[in-house]
Chain A
Amino acid sequence: MFPYLRLGPLLVQLPGLALLVGVWVGSLLAEREAHRLKGVAADIYNLIFIGLASGIVGARLTYAARYLGVYLANPLSLFALNGNTLAVSDGLIIGMAAAALYIWRKKLPVRSTLDALAPGFAVFMVFLGVGHILSGDAFGASSHLPWSIYLWGEYRHPSQFYEVMAGLVTLAVILRRPLETAGQGLNFLLAIALSAAARILLEAFRGDSLIWGGGFRAAQVLGLIFLIAALWWMKRWIQPDDKILTK
């Protein structure tokens, strides 16, 4: 765990930096993939930028809306550089909605665009795990295994390392494009399916799971829904006469 780096008067938040690097590398890979799929790389760049910017602004505004009185009295607080005052799940929905709107307005081919995003998404998941290693978040359940790590007062599953390994496996699969299709959206669905499967499997070793009624871990239940939806959609989107991609 190495959450902060002091550079003179600056305190650099390394987990946030890892996410930024993830977005940057992911954008580069997505642009490269868009180019390979005969799309316009600039459209992909704009799409990622609009999704991100809308997501961050939306996360702050929806957070502020919950404490309207506080923020009306202190409107400058809206611009505070503080991740604690972001409504993350709301921001995620707003960011995705803005990206979908951009695709619709620019009449971008949906499946091909999603396929272009697939390697970027996979690489971002790796960096998300790296961010968790640095911050100590998403920590593991108590365990006494030869590879357990001492964190937050006891020996635990190194769940953040599991996360990075799962992300690397997903990335390797996505870069190989095992479904041999170009621009049919299947590679993106495969990335979603693999990430969801990893979440179902690995959440069992987490020590900070959100627990729903009956003791079920929320992330596993949502992961299963996403996994089944991705597999079902793959069945819908497959076309027998798809051109086989020459590698």
Chain B
Amino acid sequence: MIRRYLLEDQRRWNILIAVVLFMGTGWIFLTRLPSGTTNYGEQPAPRKGFYAPEFSLELLSGGQVTLSDLRGKVVLVNFWASWCPPCRLEMPAIEKAANLYKERDVVILGVNTTYQDSEKNAASFVKDHNLTFAIPLDRDGKVSKQYTLSGLPTTFFIDRTGVIRSVVVGGPMSEGTILSQVEDLLKGNP
């Protein structure tokens, strides 16, 4: 029926195209958003395009780190545990990035999921791998829960405004992955 009454009649089909064009344009116009807006990042959520949930944790080396204090810098938040094989495999690449970017506005936080690890094991892991970046301790698992951690390692790449731009679940991440994502954020690319 569609074929006989519409498609084979060129005039009717042209009218259909015109109607579709008119209605489509109208719908697009009616549902447009105010210029420059998007629903992205209106509230904190552990996913790409949203503000990274705020946390404040004690560091293995002493002292404390608060995520919001790092605004204006590119932040890599890596969740790990000493017993996790892929965490162990990707640590050299993260340490390399930490050294490479230490003179630039990049902060790397290796959040140890202490609630499912131990401070002692975390400390010997850090020593064995010669890690120089900050190691916050998630002792009660609150931050891991906030970030809906579903597997280890998990890494969040956060831009200078505090918005998560990329999430990598599982590992090990390659050097190429880490460096290219950080370069992107340093350039200010979304």
A213 adjacent to B35 (CB under 8 Å): yes
A228 adjacent to B150 (CB under 8 Å): no
Give Cα distance in the complex from A221 to B169, angstroms. 33
| In the assembled complex, A160 has its CB within 8 A of some CB on chain B | no
| In the assembled complex, A9 has its CB within 8 A of some CB on chain B | yes
| In the assembled complex, A84 has its CB within 8 A of some CB on chain B | yes
B175 adjacent to A220 (CB under 8 Å): no
- Identity of the chain B residue whose Cβ is nearest the Cβ of A141 in the assembled complex: B39
A231 adjacent to B17 (CB under 8 Å): yes
Interface residues of A in 88-147 (CB under 8 A from B): 136, 141-142
A224 adjacent to B40 (CB under 8 Å): no
Identify which of A70, A152, A204 contacts B183 (C-beta below 8 A). Answer: A70
Question: Which chain B positions have C-beta within 8 A of A70?
Answer: 175-176, 179-180, 183
B24 adjacent to A211 (CB under 8 Å): no
Select the stretch in A26-34, A43-51, A232-240 that faces chain B.
Answer: A232-240
| In the assembled complex, B61 has its CB within 8 A of some CB on chain A | no
Given A217-B31, A217-B33, verify A227-B177 contact (CB < 8 Å). no
B28 adjacent to A221 (CB under 8 Å): yes
Show 8 A/B contacts (Cβ-Cβ < 8 Å), sorted by A.
Answer: A67-B176, A67-B180, A70-B175, A70-B179, A178-B2, A217-B33, A228-B17, A235-B13
- Identity of the chain B residue whose Cβ is nearest the Cβ of A210 in the assembled complex: B38
Question: Which chain B positions have C-beta within 8 A of A224?
Answer: 21, 24-25, 28
Give Cα distance in the complex from A208 to B25, angstroms. 20
B2 adjacent to A179 (CB under 8 Å): yes
Select the stretch in B44-52, B69-77, B114-122 that faces chain A.
Answer: B44-52
Give Cα distance in the complex from A71 to B16, angstroms. 51
- Identity of the chain A residue whose Cβ is nearest the Cβ of B14 in the assembled complex: A235
Give Cα distance in the complex from A232 to B14, angstroms. 8
Identify which of A9, A208, A238 contacts B40 (C-beta below 8 A). Answer: A208
A152 adjacent to B20 (CB under 8 Å): no
Given A178-B2, A224-B24, verify A77-B32 contact (CB < 8 Å). no
- Identity of the chain A residue whose Cβ is nearest the Cβ of B23 in the assembled complex: A200
| In the assembled complex, B188 has its CB within 8 A of some CB on chain A | no
Give Cα distance in the complex from A74 to B177, angstroms. 10
Question: Which chain A positions have C-beta within 8 A of B175?
Answer: 70, 73-74, 77
| In the assembled complex, A207 has its CB within 8 A of some CB on chain B | yes
A4 adjacent to B39 (CB under 8 Å): no
Question: Which chain A positions have C-beta within 8 A of B31?
Answer: 203-204, 217, 220
Identify which of A77, A136, A210 contacts B176 (C-beta below 8 A). Answer: A77
What's the nearest-Cβ distance from chain A to residue B82, in Å? 15
Give Cα distance in the complex from A69 to B143, angstroms. 35
- Identity of the chain A residue whose Cβ is nearest the Cβ of B38 in the assembled complex: A211
Using A80-B177, A224-B25 as known contacts, list a sample of 11 further A-B pairs with CB atoms less than 8 Å apart, ordered by residue number in A: A4-B151, A4-B170, A13-B169, A63-B180, A85-B176, A136-B47, A152-B45, A178-B2, A209-B39, A211-B38, A227-B20
Give Cα distance in the complex from A221 to B181, angstroms. 29
- Identity of the chain A residue whose Cβ is nearest the Cβ of B24 in the assembled complex: A224
Question: Which chain A positions have C-beta within 8 A of B21?
Answer: 224, 228
Question: Which chain B positions have C-beta within 8 A of A179?
Answer: 2-3, 7
Identify which of B27, B35, B44, B180 contacts A215 (C-beta below 8 A). Answer: B35
Identify which of B2, B43, B179 contacts A67 (C-beta below 8 A). Answer: B179
Given A76-B174, A207-B39, A238-B8, verify A215-B32 contact (CB < 8 Å). yes
